[in-house]
Chain A
């Protein structure tokens, strides 16, 4: 080697920063019981890098460990089926961490007939109850189940949120739909995490059923409709969708069918009751929300009350042209700096109609957009996607049952916001962790954790507009939940609900007064 070679090499080594190896380790526990969670999924990502540094699973003791990782800031995402995912940013020099996963809620029970016999194949489903009190269907696998041969059903994996429970069954022998425990005063399930609610038993009305038949007066100009996926210009005989919903619970779908081309229809087995019949068409197919309407063509809708106390024949259903509404996205008080130039909104029908009435509309800022072919029903104007960075503000509702507004309906939106807070009554030396749970439309997304700083402050930034639950616990002290047993385990009494709609929201939290108990 050259006499100076060794020296140069030494200098080079001195000049090169030595990458420190990092070890990330921890333990994943079940929040309500403190039990170790086996085979939980732990994703370790270095900030700013797409590829994971490590993808681990927990062992029998719920522990995980990744060694020799390059120095840097890391984000962990931890999940397990039936538990709320957690995302947290690891502080530099973080030692072993403990992460508690909140179990998603479950609701179970049976479906029985009045005579006590158990009913199989009834669809039991949870619907969201919005802050405005409206009820809407959910597009979520966990929200629906069919009763088994022994009449039992179980909805598993329900994320935090407010729900009502419904049951429906449709067939040649019987069609029915009912809320739990009854249509007039359905129970509202305020799920905060981990609840195991059982014995929600439906008693199905299995009394006499009646035939309901009639004819929809399909207008001549709608007698033909295009063939879906057919060659250009191909047409077929038009049919209309017909649905029956109870007057006292319009989101329940008791029965639906399609007419013949001449407009005739029949529901073979409808229980006694007061209903509203709704007709819409022409239909070109169906989705899981109901019949799909020929959205690019002219539509017509009909509506009439139906009292079923015996067979009902020869109903004459008249139809009317669709409603038209003008929507305008206007700047409001909230910041829309993060928003794209066009706001994507969805009009969701708030009454079950046997038809998919959902409409997606793009609203360029300031422009008045005309939306045609709307049904004479109530719509919720809302953000099109839970993942949107810009959200519709408030619970804008359009009631088109009896007419349409002459003036444009204005829509306000908000971009990202933040949540900052301070924890009071902290124990000396106590390290606290704050959890932020998405609620409402975004429910089911990962819960975010943050460690409270030495000044008792915390801050969650870049939050999508929406509702969140905030919970706090003493690190290595206990869970978020009160841990008083399976049935009530969860965050029922320790969660604080906040709404972030652009801008910054500030809050004060009280530290838990004792290990394992969150403040009220």
Chain B
């Protein structure tokens, strides 16, 4: 088989019903989709993840408070003020999931805390357990198109006027032609977004569309309300997608390649026009002209240990690329192909540019670990690259140590801590082992097969609870816990990318936890001292060195109907600035810059160990 691109599940091609998955499930789906790029026949694994998500929904809300409340409200378009019908709305205690082809209430279970908005956007959530409740609305259009509210619900209370404002995705149409004006089919149109992740601004691709035989494309779910750029890229097909290309030796006898084009006509992101779509906007005439250029080949050999049998090789452009982020990156079709037992590769139909070539052995057996891996930058200029020799190295065993930053608490957590590495510009591969489960603190775990690559570190603190009424499993971190420091050798990687391979092989990943987090309440008012509900509130560490560090370390919340938000024993001791804004926050450079600039004028909050602090702020006028 030549490359296996056609079997990959691309987000653009995901049927609409998959958009009904809850975010965590779809994030796993995204990951799994590129996992399929890495390993043929991975569809099953993807599906297993999905059913795992559905099965993992909280158990019935048994034992809810005797006097549940009611939440009434409407789902409205943030730009037009029009009602949004058929939005799915639920509270955090509702038992929901992906069932029978659609996101909804678990069959056979009560529909407490779940509703769909009517033609006028109105919804009524009944049977809502009293307490601090999170309300999520998901629009019928778009992927991940959710908005949330926070509300305090008293026993038997009926809350009215809960207005969820959200945007419908925009529709973008255009045409792709070559330099002669002829339509080009099979050109992938991507949305490119920028956001802070692991300490710096990174570019990620989001779902787009594909040109048809008339060169026409349409993107049905272009994200509205944030800065995006558009990029056109021709997708390799058939034999072009082989890692053993049969392209002619003579470059003059090869079919030309097409280089990436950024809208309207730029070779790189810097020259691209920034677009911002309104909710539900139908934007036409977003046309591209793609130009032919000589097709280049790269050829070489992967230097793999003799015991390695199968190898899968992947090639993708340097940024913008598919990649993982907790806040909007996505995975899609990445070129990949099997070497069918060979070590040699020849990949053609490449335009000049910078690429990332990766390869790993295809481990046998469902739970077998990857035993050899390579990741190399390849820069193609005006000629073929041949005789490349790319060493494959064994994954690292990464010792992961967990300890208290100070003396241990009197009642240490009983649940385990999970430490995971999230690859920054690729999806996970089957056979990676980059998670460590550490049962006690202090304690040690091991990540069994970490590929030499770039990651962000995520820590899932020990749970305690149950925190949500009726839920069977603890879902919130134990009170007072926070991650104080993560070090990998001499590198601090709490808010920075971690490069495995840049430290000696026996270097441990050290995570230090604090248990003296304090409580902070922020009350938000307008200029007339009236409480402001639904404001986005941030606690910004005063010592954040730059915008990248700020984006990684900020704490984020949303005010309830009383204009108040509380972080209950979640805030590490230290100095913070409290900022409130009324616009959506998406970790884009523009959004982070607003916070960065606002912090000088923002009131300081000092949080003592195990302390309580309260501060009043006014919303920042943008």
Chain A residues within 8 Å of B, Cβ to Cβ = 38-39, 41, 43, 45, 50-57, 60, 66, 79, 81-82, 121, 123, 141, 146, 148, 156, 170-173, 175, 213, 228-229, 231, 236-237, 239, 255-260, 264-268, 283-288, 291-292
Residues of B within 8 A of A38 (CB): 182
Residues of A within 8 A of B180 (CB): 60
6 A-B pairs besides A38-B182, A52-B247, A175-B100 with CB distance below 8 A are: A43-B239, A51-B247, A55-B253, A82-B213, A239-B55, A258-B100
Q: Which stretch (B103-111, B336-344, B498-506) binds chain A?
A: B103-111
The answer to whether the Cβ of B484 comes within 8 Å of any Cβ in the partner chain is no
- Tell me the B384-408 residues at the A interface (CB within 8 Å): none
Take A82-B213, A172-B102, A284-B48 as given contacts and tell me if A51 and B107 are in contact as well, using a CB distance cutoff of 8 Å: no
Question: What does DSSP make chain A's interface, helix, strand, loop or mixed?
Answer: strand
Take A121-B16, A260-B106, A265-B108 as given contacts and tell me if A56 and B253 are in contact as well, using a CB distance cutoff of 8 Å: yes
From A67, which residue of chain B is reached at the shortest CB distance? B253
Please report the C-alpha to C-alpha distance between residue A268 and residue B45 in the assembled complex, in whole angstroms: 29
From B349, which residue of chain A is reached at the shortest CB distance? A55
Measured CB to CB, the closest approach of chain B to A155, in angstroms, equals 13
Residues of B within 8 A of A260 (CB): 106-109
Measured CB to CB, the closest approach of chain A to B283, in angstroms, equals 15
Residues A171 and B185 in contact, CB atoms below 8 Å apart: no
Residues A264 and B249 in contact, CB atoms below 8 Å apart: no
Residues of A within 8 A of B54 (CB): 258
Interface string of B550-568 (1 = CB under 8 A from A): 0000000000000000000
**Which of A53, A82, A264, A268 touches B253 (beta carbons < 8 Å)?**
A53
From A291, which residue of chain B is reached at the shortest CB distance? B51
Residues B102 and A171 in contact, CB atoms below 8 Å apart: yes
Residues B55 and A236 in contact, CB atoms below 8 Å apart: yes
Please report the C-alpha to C-alpha distance between residue A291 and residue B99 in the assembled complex, in whole angstroms: 11
Please report the C-alpha to C-alpha distance between residue A369 and residue B17 in the assembled complex, in whole angstroms: 39
Residues of A within 8 A of B238 (CB): 79
Measured CB to CB, the closest approach of chain B to A359, in angstroms, equals 15
Residues of B within 8 A of A229 (CB): 45, 48, 366-367
Measured CB to CB, the closest approach of chain B to A390, in angstroms, equals 19
- Tell me the B65-118 residues at the A interface (CB within 8 Å): 99-102, 104, 106-109, 116
Interface size counted on chain B using CB atoms at 8 A: 47
The answer to whether the Cβ of B131 comes within 8 Å of any Cβ in the partner chain is no
Residues B101 and A170 in contact, CB atoms below 8 Å apart: yes
**Which of A55, A264, A265, A291 touches B248 (beta carbons < 8 Å)?**
A55
Please report the C-alpha to C-alpha distance between residue A52 and residue B240 in the assembled complex, in whole angstroms: 12
- Tell me the B148-197 residues at the A interface (CB within 8 Å): 178, 180, 182, 184-186
Residues of B within 8 A of A172 (CB): 102, 104, 116
Residues of A within 8 A of B104 (CB): 172, 268
Please report the C-alpha to C-alpha distance between residue A287 and residue B100 in the assembled complex, in whole angstroms: 13
Residues B253 and A54 in contact, CB atoms below 8 Å apart: yes
From A69, which residue of chain B is reached at the shortest CB distance? B253
Residues A264 and B107 in contact, CB atoms below 8 Å apart: yes
Residues of A within 8 A of B47 (CB): 285-287, 292
Residues of A within 8 A of B184 (CB): 39
Residues of A within 8 A of B108 (CB): 213, 260, 264-266
Residues A51 and B246 in contact, CB atoms below 8 Å apart: yes
Chain B residues within 8 Å of A, Cβ to Cβ = 6, 13, 15-17, 43-45, 47-52, 54-55, 99-102, 104, 106-109, 116, 178, 180, 182, 184-186, 212-213, 220, 238-239, 246-249, 253-256, 366-367
Residues B107 and A266 in contact, CB atoms below 8 Å apart: yes
Measured CB to CB, the closest approach of chain A to B290, in angstroms, equals 11
Which of B101, B104, B116, B256: most chain A Cβ within 10 A? B101
Please list 16 pairs of residues, one from A and one from B, whose beta carbons are closer than 8 Å in the complex, sorted by A's number. Answer: A52-B248, A52-B253, A53-B248, A55-B255, A156-B213, A170-B100, A172-B116, A228-B52, A229-B367, A237-B55, A259-B107, A260-B108, A265-B107, A265-B108, A283-B51, A292-B51
**Which of B43, B52, B186, B239 touches A81 (beta carbons < 8 Å)?**
B186
Residues A50 and B246 in contact, CB atoms below 8 Å apart: yes
From B181, which residue of chain A is reached at the shortest CB distance? A60
Measured CB to CB, the closest approach of chain B to A512, in angstroms, equals 29
Residues of A within 8 A of B99 (CB): 257-258
Take A156-B212, A260-B107, A286-B51 as given contacts and tell me if A123 and B15 are in contact as well, using a CB distance cutoff of 8 Å: yes
From A267, which residue of chain B is reached at the shortest CB distance? B100
From B114, which residue of chain A is reached at the shortest CB distance? A172
Residues of B within 8 A of A146 (CB): 15-16
Residues of A within 8 A of B253 (CB): 52-56, 66
Measured CB to CB, the closest approach of chain B to A459, in angstroms, equals 27
Residues A256 and B248 in contact, CB atoms below 8 Å apart: no
Measured CB to CB, the closest approach of chain A to B15, in angstroms, equals 7
Measured CB to CB, the closest approach of chain B to A267, in angstroms, equals 7
Residues A285 and B44 in contact, CB atoms below 8 Å apart: yes
Please report the C-alpha to C-alpha distance between residue A51 and residue B250 in the assembled complex, in whole angstroms: 11
Take A56-B253, A57-B255, A292-B47 as given contacts and tell me if A171 and B247 are in contact as well, using a CB distance cutoff of 8 Å: no
Please report the C-alpha to C-alpha distance between residue A51 and residue B6 in the assembled complex, in whole angstroms: 23
Measured CB to CB, the closest approach of chain A to B174, in angstroms, equals 16
Measured CB to CB, the closest approach of chain A to B461, in angstroms, equals 23
From A211, which residue of chain B is reached at the shortest CB distance? B107
From A236, which residue of chain B is reached at the shortest CB distance? B55
Please report the C-alpha to C-alpha distance between residue A422 and residue B340 in the assembled complex, in whole angstroms: 42
Residues of A within 8 A of B254 (CB): 55
Which of A172, A228, A284: most chain B Cβ within 10 A? A172
**Which of B49, B101, B212, B239 touches A171 (beta carbons < 8 Å)?**
B101
Residues of A within 8 A of B186 (CB): 81
Residues of B within 8 A of A228 (CB): 48, 51-52
From B47, which residue of chain A is reached at the shortest CB distance? A285
Residues of B within 8 A of A66 (CB): 253
Residues of B within 8 A of A265 (CB): 107-108
Measured CB to CB, the closest approach of chain B to A395, in angstroms, equals 28
Residues B102 and A170 in contact, CB atoms below 8 Å apart: yes
Residues of B within 8 A of A264 (CB): 107-108
From A256, which residue of chain B is reached at the shortest CB distance? B100
Closest 10 interchain pairs by CB? A257-B100, A170-B101, A228-B48, A285-B48, A266-B107, A285-B47, A264-B108, A54-B253, A285-B51, A55-B255
Measured CB to CB, the closest approach of chain B to A393, in angstroms, equals 27
From B254, which residue of chain A is reached at the shortest CB distance? A55
Residues of A within 8 A of B50 (CB): 285-286
Please report the C-alpha to C-alpha distance between residue A513 and residue B44 in the assembled complex, in whole angstroms: 54
Residues A287 and B212 in contact, CB atoms below 8 Å apart: no
Measured CB to CB, the closest approach of chain A to B309, in angstroms, equals 21
Residues A54 and B107 in contact, CB atoms below 8 Å apart: no
Residues of A within 8 A of B255 (CB): 41, 55-57
Take A39-B184, A51-B249, A213-B108 as given contacts and tell me if A81 and B44 are in contact as well, using a CB distance cutoff of 8 Å: no
Please report the C-alpha to C-alpha distance between residue A53 and residue B184 in the assembled complex, in whole angstroms: 25
Residues of B within 8 A of A267 (CB): 100, 107
Please report the C-alpha to C-alpha distance between residue A51 and residue B50 in the assembled complex, in whole angstroms: 42
Residues of A within 8 A of B239 (CB): 43
Please report the C-alpha to C-alpha distance between residue A151 and residue B201 in the assembled complex, in whole angstroms: 40
Measured CB to CB, the closest approach of chain B to A243, in angstroms, equals 10
From A154, which residue of chain B is reached at the shortest CB distance? B212
Measured CB to CB, the closest approach of chain B to A315, in angstroms, equals 12
Measured CB to CB, the closest approach of chain A to B212, in angstroms, equals 7
Measured CB to CB, the closest approach of chain B to A114, in angstroms, equals 19
